[in-house]
Structure 1
Amino acid sequence: MKKKYYLEVKKLYNKGFYISALSLRGRNKENAEITLAEGLNVISGASDTGKTFIFECINYVFGGSTKPKNIIESNGYTEILIEITTYDERVFTLKRNLTDGKMFKYDCGLKEIYKQAPIEIGNQHNKDDENNYSSFLLSLSGATYKNVVKNKSGHTTSFSFRDFVHISMLHEKKIIESASPIYSEGSRFTKTRSESVFRTIMTGKDDSAFEENKKSDTEKLRAKAKIDVLEDMIVSTRLQIEELTSELKSVNFNIEDFEKSISDLKVQLSEKKQTINLLESKKQQYWDTLQILKSDKMLLNEIKSRFNLLKKNYESDLERLAFIEEAEYYLGQLIDVKCPICNSDFISEVPELNQAVAAEIDKIRFQLYDLNETIKETEQKIVVKENEIQQINNEIKKIDTILEEELKPILGKFNEKIDELILLRDKYKEREFHVEKLTQLQKERDYFKKIVENNNTTLTVNNDINENSIKLFCNIIKKLLEEWKIEEHITVEFDHDKKDIIVNGKAKGSFGKGYAAVLNSAFVIGILQYTIMLGLPHPKVIVLDSPLTTFKGKDKSTSSDEFVINDEVKQAFFKYLSTQKSGMQFIILDNAIPPKEVIPKIKYYYFTKNESLGRYGFIPLQK
């Protein structure tokens, strides 16, 4: 039973799809096309370049009743095609005519549709006939939901793919509304129905039991079948609780103790990191000093080399002068003779030369003595520098020893302990979640037992979601808003009456349209991440029109109510979504431009509205 349950959950992780291409076509018209990818896709640029038109095209193919606005550029185009790729690697193409609204399906990609005839499918949901766009897309999403309650009397209506669209695609008007994103437009989407859809998506359980509130033999059979399913789920849930209890049997903490222990360890970890940073800083200072000392030593060695070269020159000069003295001596031994020309005596002695040579020798010897002293002094300085270098190296080695043998291993142990506690805490939370889930399942089983036992049982509508699920959902949104840097400190609560989030103690309407756009974006993305985390059905496509264009943050330079555009939030928004690549797709249509470092990591289009610069817009400029 337990293995079967986990296999079913694993299957859901492979469910869902992403839009891989969008094409607008018409007879004798150049195709207007964009390709998209898993992860983040951003289409930005000037106004009136087709960004909102792209949203309307996707919405229309996904069953919207309103055609895309008839803009001048779209004249002559007659059909919209969307290629979708599933996460189990299948490719389909959906086509919808702009003329008559008919829909068609191809079991292939956009480039291969010419190879096969299209299959016409219904453009309205019909739970009794699966040959329609809604049943097809619900199947790809892993959703087997049939009915949701539409009024407080317990009457039901079909769950359709449009119910997913309303909480995953926000157009430029809806995204700034102060009401919860779960409340859809249109008269047929009542408050009770919208809340029932939200509960179904968040719990994975539809309202088939409320089928027209009839107590008949057929309903008894359905109730019995439902009891069988619930009994299986109860057994599976109990097994999970027992497994988690076994894993936690040596743990005597409650959730508050876990949080406190994790917080205390993080404080200690922070202190150790500060110590490491201080030592690293000190090591850097030593390193800088070491480079200066080495430079000084190199300079002294260069000076010493030049002094030794000068010393050799002095010694060479002394040898030359000694040779002159010796030559003068031998010259004095020669016999006096007469000059054969003028008959005068040769001068054999030059006293002035002897004196000059002697004086020069004394001078060079004095300079050589002074030079030798200077060389000795330089050598002593070199020894001093070498000792200082050795001392600095010893200090650096001491710091390295402390870092590598003491602090960093402790840091690793702290991280391991924190990870261990977080894992245990999450298991503790998971057990609490399953305990509450078990209680709900048992109540639901008992409820259906009453239906079987008593034909007059009155059904009541309750669209509340259990508190553990709400806490998980709020934590997901809190992390999103923290990643997007919308405020320095974030708290997120859930208003059960309005079915919306409360941020830092304030309702969404207190923040204005810009904040509403970001909070609504966080709400629908939070639903996606929540369903993925719990293995619940979801198409896994989010389309947002202008989530950032109207966003403004508080001007920190003033305490007034004036606001300025906060680029930090916009950059953080794009940076975070660019990291979410596996098993989900985001299509952002906005005037805001992603940071330069994000653009290479995502699928990005920039419409210029300038025929001579880049791409003009979604629809090619007709020539």
Structure 2
Amino acid sequence: MIRLTLVHLTFLGMDKPPAAVEFSPGLTVIYGASDTGKSYVEEAVDYMLGASELKSIPEDDGYTRILLGLRVSDGRSLTLSRAIGGDTIEVFNHDLREMPSEPADETLKFKHNAKSKKNISRYLLTVLGIDGQRILQSGRGNVLPLNFRDLARLAVVNDTRMADQHSPVLGTRNPLNETREKSVFKLLLSGEEEPERPAAPSNLEKQFGKGKIAVIDHLIDENRGKLTMEANQSQLREQLDRLQAALGEVTTAAVELAEIRTSLLRDRRGLEEINLAAQQRGDEVEQLLARFALLKEQYESDLARLQMVGEAGTLLGYFQTGTCVFCGAEPQHQHPEHHLAESTQLAASVSTETRKTTDLLSDLLLMIEDLEEQAAEIESARAARHEELTHNAAELRALDQRMQPVDTDATELLNARSRVENELALHAQIEQLEDLKASLSTVAPAPPTARPDGIPAADVADFERMIHETLEAWHVPGSNRVRYDPTTAELSVDGQPRKSRGRGMRSILHAAFAVSLARRNTARDLIHPGFVVLDTPVLTYRRPEDPHEDRPELMTADVAENFYRDLLENPPGQVIVIENPTPPASIRGRATVHAFSVDGSERQGFFPPRERQ
């Protein structure tokens, strides 16, 4: 099985020196004067493992975040990060000792939720490989998944529960949780989860059984009154099959007509797009013809003017005397052939310009002729498409007329099918109600009561032997004959129940219970988180007074010496002990020891003194 080891607990705050304690993978002892933060370490560890709150102390003022380092037995390092008072726990997949500067690998809720994996309980159970293990919730047989808090209560024991009169198994001290807590202990001792079983009816369900029959009769009558067809379920199913077949045929016809209509609409859109393009081209041709008509008039006017200029120039050259009309020369400067030469030159210019304009006019007339042919073709094609569109519209109208009865038939068939299906649903409800009535009317034998105390006798005897060996190793006086009663969850030693013993003996026995459970389950590869945190296990134990001794002695030194020696020589896994008295000197160098506010200690407490902050 996978195990967890606590590595360190670190408090961080803005402008605050870190407050940290390192844990050994074997034995760690934290001791010292009262009010130095020893028990606060245990409470903070429990808080990081999913407890709902952490009671504040004056020394934690200014600290805002807690880090709990974990090492998994498969080699992984994890760090849990939680704000003081926060409801989420961040997980980093490495050892972290300072304020996080990167996003967390996981962000989880502190509260267990069986329906979501985004909580610290499901996360740690998954790491341990035991997520989804079933435990018993009540004597009726209801089961629910294991919660990591169920394990934490057995592994992390504060000073109040250490000496409490309640059984170590019943950590919540709530009678409503007894079945659940006994089932958890059964799971740990035997390694077998609760099987799925039918839940027995509650007393309330039995009391209301007869009333339910009357209600069911009323519902049956009510549903029968809603029936509108005089047909049984078999006839209705046959009718439904016929309607389905007819509806299939109508649907097929409707699909075929719809495909034809889609094709016609596609053709119509194509014709309309061609018409639009042809209209645009026709408009362009019309505009060009209008412009070329104006240009033609201009060319014809130019030719008429050129003809007039040629004729007028000849006349002027022959009949007028005086200043030359062509070049402006005075008579005395004119030579005999002067007018003739000028007239000839004018005629040549007029002729050249006339030829050029005539050529341009000829080209323009060809273009006009071509454009007029295009216009005629466009108009002819438009008329043809108009006929096609008219034919298309007629086909669409005819198709719509064909589709109308098909749609009507489909609507009627759907309505008929709905009515038949509603009738069948009413018959089914009546049948279910009659079955339910029959089941309530028949007294069935109740399933056997679930037994959270049904731990195999061999496992109970093995655990009793383990506690006996632990008490013997610690030199607790007496024969240390141990008995565990699975029904009451009570632990007895030498015939005397733990709850009837004194406070000191209750603490010793609770510590032996927790250590033996860890030792046994580790040795047998059964479920256990892998660590035990014990707050004040041997402080209050006093040795029985010997009337023959002059000075009765406290048993603390003797039991404590053997208590620590056993944890070192026969380690049950990781153990963290929190005590007031100084531990035996023999553990120095063999265990990690943190002394708070004692002579020679470097620390005044878990938190640094305020003058050093």
Task: Pick the aligned partner of 1:150 from 137, 140, 146.
Answer: 137
CA contact (8 A) 1:106 1:116 kept: no
Corresponding position: 1:36 with 2:23: yes
In the alignment, the residues of structure 1 paired with residue 460 and residue 35 of structure 2 have an alpha-carbon distance, to the nearest angstrom, of 40
162-171 or 497-506: bigger deviation: 497-506
Counterpart for residue 88 of structure 2 = 102
Instruction: Give 1:511 deviation, angstroms.
Output: 2.6
In the alignment, the residues of structure 2 paired with residue 110 and residue 608 of structure 1 have an alpha-carbon distance, to the nearest angstrom, of 28
In structure 2, the gaps of 5 or more residues are 202-443
Aligned ranges 1:401-412 → 2 under 5 Å: none
Aligned ranges 1:419-434 → 2 under 5 Å: none
1:161-196, Cα deviation, whole Å (9 max, x unpaired): 000011111111110022211102265861111111
Counterpart for residue 506 of structure 1 = 496
CA contact (8 A) 2:68 2:80 kept: yes
Counterpart for residue 606 of structure 1 = 595
Instruction: Give 1:550 deviation, angstroms.
Output: 0.8
Instruction: Give 1:567 deviation, angstroms.
Output: 1.2
In the alignment, the residues of structure 2 paired with residue 130 and residue 517 of structure 1 have an alpha-carbon distance, to the nearest angstrom, of 36
Instruction: Give 1:515 deviation, angstroms.
Output: 0.6
Task: Pick the aligned partner of 1:192 from 157, 179, 204.
Answer: 179
Counterpart for residue 118 of structure 2 = 131
Instruction: Give 1:558 deviation, angstroms.
Output: 5.0
CA contact (8 A) 1:45 1:592 kept: yes
In structure 1, the gaps of 5 or more residues are 1-11, 215-454
CA contact (8 A) 1:62 1:165 kept: yes
Task: Pick the aligned partner of 2:516 from 526, 536, 551.
Answer: 526
Aligned ranges 1:178-577 → 2 under 5 Å: 178-185=165-172, 187=174, 190-210=177-197, 458-462=447-451, 463-487=453-477, 489-557=479-547, 564-577=554-567
Q: Which amino acid aligns with 1:614?
A: E
Q: Which amino acid aligns with 2:187?
A: T
1:357-412, Cα deviation, whole Å (9 max, x unpaired): xxxxxxxxxxxxxxxxxxxxxxxxxxxxxxxxxxxxxxxxxxxxxxxxxxxxxxxx
Counterpart for residue 50 of structure 2 = 63
Count the aligned residue pairs: 369
In the alignment, the residues of structure 1 paired with residue 38 and residue 197 of structure 2 have an alpha-carbon distance, to the nearest angstrom, of 41
Corresponding position: 1:22 with 2:12: no
CA contact (8 A) 1:182 1:194 kept: yes
1:213-240, Cα deviation, whole Å (9 max, x unpaired): 69xxxxxxxxxxxxxxxxxxxxxxxxxx
Counterpart for residue 593 of structure 1 = 582
Corresponding position: 1:74 with 2:60: yes
CA contact (8 A) 1:63 1:134 kept: yes
Q: Percent identity?
A: 25
Q: Which amino acid aligns with 2:171?
A: S
In the alignment, the residues of structure 1 paired with residue 559 and residue 184 of structure 2 have an alpha-carbon distance, to the nearest angstrom, of 31
- Please give the secondary structure, in 2, of the residue aligned with 1:564: coil
CA contact (8 A) 1:130 1:136 kept: yes
Go from structure 1 to structure 2 and tell me whether the alpha carbon gap of 1:176 and 1:574 turns closer, same or farther (over 3 Å shift): same
Q: Which amino acid aligns with 1:132?
A: N
Normalising to structure 1: TM-score of the pair? 0.56
Q: Which amino acid aligns with 1:108?
A: H
Go from structure 1 to structure 2 and tell me whether the alpha carbon gap of 1:183 and 1:613 turns closer, same or farther (over 3 Å shift): closer
36-45 or 147-156: bigger deviation: 147-156
- Please give the secondary structure, in 1, of the residue aligned with 2:10: strand
1:85-113, Cα deviation, whole Å (9 max, x unpaired): 11121100001111333211101102487
Counterpart for residue 338 of structure 1 = none
In the alignment, the residues of structure 2 paired with residue 603 and residue 538 of structure 1 have an alpha-carbon distance, to the nearest angstrom, of 23
| RMSD (Å), alpha carbons | 2.7
Instruction: Give 1:517 deviation, angstroms.
Output: 0.3
Instruction: Give 1:41 deviation, angstroms.
Output: 0.5
Instruction: Give 1:114 deviation, angstroms.
Output: 4.1
Aligned ranges 1:2-21 → 2 under 5 Å: 12=1, 15-21=2-8
Q: Which amino acid aligns with 1:159?
A: L
Go from structure 1 to structure 2 and tell me whether the alpha carbon gap of 1:189 and 1:540 turns closer, same or farther (over 3 Å shift): farther
In the alignment, the residues of structure 2 paired with residue 549 and residue 510 of structure 1 have an alpha-carbon distance, to the nearest angstrom, of 19
CA contact (8 A) 1:146 1:208 kept: no
Normalising to structure 2: TM-score of the pair? 0.57
Corresponding position: 1:615 with 2:596: no
Instruction: Give 1:495 deviation, angstroms.
Output: 2.2
202-211 or 506-515: bigger deviation: 202-211
Task: Pick the aligned partner of 1:164 from 135, 140, 151.
Answer: 151
1:105-132, Cα deviation, whole Å (9 max, x unpaired): 1011024874631131121122332222
In the alignment, the residues of structure 1 paired with residue 112 and residue 147 of structure 2 have an alpha-carbon distance, to the nearest angstrom, of 6
In the alignment, the residues of structure 1 paired with residue 492 and residue 514 of structure 2 have an alpha-carbon distance, to the nearest angstrom, of 15
CA contact (8 A) 2:538 2:556 kept: no
Counterpart for residue 439 of structure 2 = none
Instruction: Give 1:543 deviation, angstroms.
Output: 0.5
Q: Which amino acid aligns with 2:531?
A: V
Q: Which amino acid aligns with 1:201?
A: L
